[in-house]
Structures are given as C-alpha cells and as structure tokens.
A and B are shown apart, each in its own frame.
Chain A
Amino acid sequence: MRVASMAGLMVAVMVLAACGQNQPENVEPQVDTAAANARARQDSIDAENRRRAEEEARQRAEAERLARENADRLGAVRTELTSPIHFEYDQASVRGDDQANLDRKAAILQANSGLTLRISGHADERGSDEYNLALGNRRAAAAKRYLVNKGIDAGRIEVVSFGEERPVAQGSDEEAYAQNRRGEFEVVAGGDNLVAPQ
C-alpha cells in the first residue's frame, strides 16, 4: 500500500516534471513497481513452500514414531509368545510361576486367529538319553494342555521333544540343569502383524 502510494506520488512528480520540461517519459518507476510486485509474489511462494515442507516433515516424523511404537508392540508380543517356561527335576507339570506366562500366550493366540505354534520339550542331561525324549514330550504336552484348557484349539499347537539333545546351558551343575529343563515356543505360521491382546 505504501509502495503503491509511493509509486503514485513518484508518478505524479514525474508527470509534473515532464509537463514542465517536455522531456521523454521516464519508465523507471514502472519497472521498480513490477519488480517489487514480483519480489512480493516470490516471497509468498517461498513462504508457502517452507510451510508445506515443514508440514510434510512433521507428518513424516509422526508416521515414523507410530511405526516404531507399533514394532515395539509387535516385538513385545512376539517376545511374550516365544519366552520359555521351566520345569522341576523329572517333573512335567506346569509351574505356578509360569501360569501368567501361559495365560498371556493364550490371550495372544485368541487375538491372532491365524497363529499356530510348536512347543518343544527339553530335559537336563541326567537320566537316560531315551527317557529324556519321553520326559521332554511330556513337558511339551503339558504346556499344550494348559493352553487348550484356556480355549485354544488343539490343532493350532504342535508338540515335539528334543530330550537332552539341545541344551541352552553347558555344565553339570544345578544352574545349567534348571535352564535346560524347559519348554520352548516357536511360531509355525501367522506370526506376521501380530495384534496385541486388549
């Protein structure tokens, strides 16, 4: 506005000066005005571009944050699903302190209807090599039975046994033995895009 009135004033002065002197028309004020207009237009375009870029960056960051949160949630779900349970010496019954673990697994299975699991039973190195195959089998089946009793269809869970063949801890002490007496849980199918139970 000021520019326009400034330009108008200058035009007025120029016209008066030209009328008194019969000089050729001076075009400088028109060029200045056009340039000023162009500059103004450019500035607002730049501002618009900046604003848009900032908005996109903000949206991208938000999407990444959401994806990370989602992956953590999936990772947490998968971790809960595959965490092992443990057993007492020569026993195959589910321990009291593992029930919450299995309850959580049952909930995850309920929330993901395409999910199927394989449970493998393991034993420490004591006892006979062959007896431990039977013991591992009993352990895996006990874990499966617990989940079936929570309403999971039996056809969704396989039972296998490795006896003492796959220890996670080497050594002949009680600490190694306790780690090796375990049931492991492995996703067979339907493990992508796990939904966390509500």
Chain B
Amino acid sequence: MPRAPFRRLSVALALAALAAPAVRPAALAAQDTTRTPDGVIIRGQYQPGSRPGLVVLAAPGTDSVRAIVQRDLDYSDRFEAVSTAERPSSGRLNYDLYKRLGAAYALELYPAVGGIAMKLHDVARGTVRGQQTVPLPPPTSPEYRMALHRLSDEVTRQATGQPGYAASRLLYLGTDGRIYRIDSDGHGNAPVTPAGARAFSPAWSPDGRRVAYTRFDGGRGAIVVQPLDGGAPATVPGTTTGLNFGAAFAPDGRTVAYSRASDDGTTHVFKANVADQCCVQRLTVGQFADNLTPTYSPDGQRIGFVSTRGGGPQLYVMAADGTDQEVLAPFDFGETGPSNAPDWSPDGRSVVFHRDVSRASQVFTFDVARQRVQQLTSGGRNTDPAWAPDSRHVVFVSDRSGRRQLWVIDLESGRVRQLATPGAVRLPAWSRRLGGN
C-alpha cells in the first residue's frame, strides 16, 4: 500500500518529462515563488495531466490586467504557465502554435464596455470553452483588484471545474497588537482594528463582511464583531467578563463559538447567537480539562476543538450542540506531541492543525473520512494553519526565514510561496471567496 503512490509519482514524472516542455514566464514581481522543498513533505499523489498549460493573450492596453490575472493563475497551482509574444489578430487564434508550446488552454483578455472580457479557448479542440464580461471599476478603485481576482477564479473554474481562491483576503495579528487584512496575493495590507488597543484571535464571518476578534485588555478580553464597512462593533454575548478568545463563526454567520477562560481556572467552549445578541450556551464542562479554539464543519453540524482531557492538548470533535464529544485526530497518550489550532476545510474533508514533533511545531492535516493524519512541514517552527477557500491551499506561520511570516502551501503539488507582510505575523485567518459588492 505505501509503495503505490511512489510508483504513481515516478510514472507521473516520466509522463511530464515526455509532454511538450512548458516555457516558464519571466519572473513575476513582488512575490517570491521559490520552491523550498527542504521544508515541505510532498504528498505522493501528484496526478499527471492535472497541470494543463495555459497561455494568456492580453490585448493592447490590458497589461496591468494581465499581470494580476497571470499571477493569480500561477498561484492557483493548477496550470503550467506558457508565454508567447504573439497576440491574436481579428479573433482567429493560432491554435497550432499554442499546442506546440504546450498549452491546453488559451485565455484572451480584452477591454469591453464597462469592464474586461475573457474568452477561454480549448486549444486541442480549437473551440471557445467559455467567455464572460466582468464589470471592472476604475484602476484607482479599492475594488479593482478584487474584481480581477474574481475573473481569475472564473477562468480556473471554467478550465478545471474548480474555482480558484484569488478573490479572498486574510486577517492576521501584527506585533503591534493590531489586526491587519491582506489580499491573497499580498496586496492591500491595511489595519482593521484601532491603534493603541491590543487585539487577538481574528476570525472572518462567512460572507467576509465582518471580523470577530478579542479586545485584549489587562489580561482579560471580550470578543467583538466588527463590520468592515465601518459600522459599530457589537460585543458577543457572554464575553463581557473573563478572558474570551478563539472565536469562530458558524457557517450561517448567526452564531459565534469561542473559548472562555474564567477565574476558576478552566477554559471552556461556549457559543452565542450574534444575530439576535442572546442565548449563550456552554458546550464543554469539567473542572480538570481545558477546552478551546472551536472550528465549525462547513455544514454547521459539528465543531472541532482542542481539549486537554487526555493529558496534553489534542483534537476533539462534538456535535454543534455539545453532545457526542470524541477524539478527532488520533494520538498516542504520552507520546504524541501537543496538537493545537484546528481549522476545518471549506469542503469539509479535512482539518488542518499544528502538532509538536521533536519539540518543534509542524503543520498536519487530518482526513476526516479516512481517519488519517499527514504531516505537511518539517523545517523550522510552523504553526496556526488556515485553509484557503479552495480547500487545497493552506496558509501558516513559519519562522523558517528568521522571523514569523506567512507561507502558503499547495497540498497537491507541495509548492510553497511566501506571502510577504510589512512586519511579523501571528494567528492568520482566511476568508471564503469574496462575492461582488
């Protein structure tokens, strides 16, 4: 059983070598695309043919559009980028040339009334696979880049059946105690919480319009839900006393689960209705264990969390009403290192977390159906993972470069890229795909 993946991998590599060589584009600015294989364990499930070549043909005057879209498609890790200087003339594409260059798809981008138009060609068949005109605000608008990211995600969906994750944002905690947001491609870094106050544990609402976080004050903290459009923050019921942290929205956006440390020494998982601002419910009990950092399954039926009931912190799961509590990721008592910071994938299949291995934290995934734990990182200290909306990329905090920074790993290919921020970071959270608004 363990040998089959390796054989498939070597077959895949052989096939890839036989296929028409993909021409790498010129190095893109602003983001580091260096592979760092020594810090990463590549899962031996890389399927041949899952990275079709794609050539982007941008009409004159669309270079800035092309740059953003091309980078998004690169970061999707679903295509081999193909470059050519030739531009199509009067609608007819040179399918033969693109086929020879190794492209399975050709993407046309050209200006249209009120926006940008895309046309995705199936090169082998010589046909148009899909097209769309996306409304585009002026380049000075704060929504310009996100509109292009949505276009990139649509291209990915039309080519592969799965949308990309470019139209999304991350939150993280800066060393100044402020929470910042940043686009998935590293642009648009901006503070979300006020200066002079210390925050903790940022979390996105499912619609990406609100942020929950802890207002950390003198060793205590309430959790507030703050609308990103500038509305007044609202305190989550049940969090006005004690130290409350690790908030997580339920998929319907109406409930927030959180950890509450009270002065009898215990920490427990609670949830509250933030739509009606009421109805606090305690989900875990007991004097002798801490229960913390809940994460909802995408169907809202279950909550993964950390508990010390088995000794040190490990992953558990319960029904959303607190019943049926059981171990989630198996561990050997006294042997397995502490496990923390679980995040349930948007497709519901996996829970990503970090676990101490030989005294250093590493990122792991747990396949819920197969009940299998898999290690993703191995170099440096890697913590606090969070899923991208495509359930295939994971952001985590790593000190492998010397200070704590964000890195994004693709679980399919193992490719790792750095997501640069102005300062050191902690506790990232990744939004779902951001709809138009």
Contacts and interface: CB of A to CB of B under 8 A. Distances in A.
Interface of A: 90, 92, 118, 120, 126-131, 133-138, 140-142, 144-145, 158-162, 165
Interface string B356-394: 100001000000000000000000000110000000000
A94 to B, nearest CB: 12
A92 B261 CA distance: 14
Given A118-B219, A128-B354, A130-B341, 16 more contacts: A92-B265, A120-B219, A127-B340, A131-B292, A131-B306, A131-B338, A133-B243, A133-B267, A134-B259, A135-B290, A137-B261, A138-B267, A140-B265, A158-B263, A161-B243, A165-B216
A184 to B, nearest CB: 10
B427 A133 contact: no
B215 interface: no
Chain B CB within 10 A, most for which of A92, A135, A142 = A135
Given A128-B354, A141-B263, A159-B263, A134 B290 contact: yes
Interface in B206-224: 216, 218-220
B198 to A, nearest CB: 8
B256 to A, nearest CB: 15
Nearest to A118: B219
B265 A130 contact: no
Given A134-B259, A160-B219, A161-B243, A127 B265 contact: no
Contacts of A158: 263
Contacts of B341: 128, 130
Q: Which 5 pairs of residues, A with B, have the shortest CB-CB distance?
A: A160-B219, A141-B265, A159-B263, A128-B340, A137-B261
Interface string B31-46: 0000000000000000
Interface string B61-102: 000000000000000000000000000000000000000000
28 contacts: A90-B312, A120-B219, A127-B340, A127-B356, A128-B354, A129-B200, A129-B427, A130-B200, A130-B245, A130-B341, A130-B427, A131-B306, A133-B200, A133-B245, A133-B259, A133-B261, A133-B267, A134-B261, A135-B290, A137-B263, A137-B267, A138-B290, A140-B265, A141-B263, A142-B265, A159-B263, A159-B265, A161-B261
A160 B241 CA distance: 11
Given A131-B340, A160-B220, A161-B243, A137 B265 contact: yes
Chain B CB within 10 A, most for which of A92, A131, A138 = A131
A142 B264 CA distance: 8
Contacts of A126: 356
Chain B CB within 10 A, most for which of A120, A127, A144, A158 = A127
Nearest to A144: B263
B304 interface: no
Nearest to B399: A172
A134 B214 CA distance: 14
B313 interface: yes
Chain B CB within 10 A, most for which of A133, A136, A137, A161 = A133
A93 to B, nearest CB: 11
B293 interface: yes
Nearest to A138: B265
B414 interface: no
Contacts of B263: 137, 140-141, 144, 158-159
Contacts of B433: none
B95 to A, nearest CB: 53
Contacts of A136: 219
A188 to B, nearest CB: 11
Contacts of A144: 263
B163 interface: no
Contacts of A140: 263, 265
Contact of B218 (A127, A128, A130, A160): A160
Given A130-B292, A141-B264, A142-B265, A162 B312 contact: no
A39 B292 CA distance: 93
Interface string B215-258: 01011100000000000000000000001011000000000000
B350 interface: no
Contacts of B218: 160
Contacts of B121: none
Contacts of A159: 263, 265
B432 interface: no
Given A92-B265, A127-B338, A134 B219 contact: no
Nearest to A134: B267
Interface in B266-321: 266-267, 290, 292-293, 306, 312-313
A101 B259 CA distance: 32
B152 interface: no
Contacts of A142: 265
B293 to A, nearest CB: 5
A90 B383 CA distance: 18
Contacts of A92: 265
Contacts of A145: 265
Chain A CB within 10 A, most for which of B219, B259, B265, B293 = B219
A142 B287 CA distance: 12
B290 to A, nearest CB: 5
A135 B293 CA distance: 13
A130 B201 contact: yes
B426 interface: yes
A123 to B, nearest CB: 12
Contacts of B261: 133-134, 137, 161
A5 to B, nearest CB: 89
Nearest to A143: B265
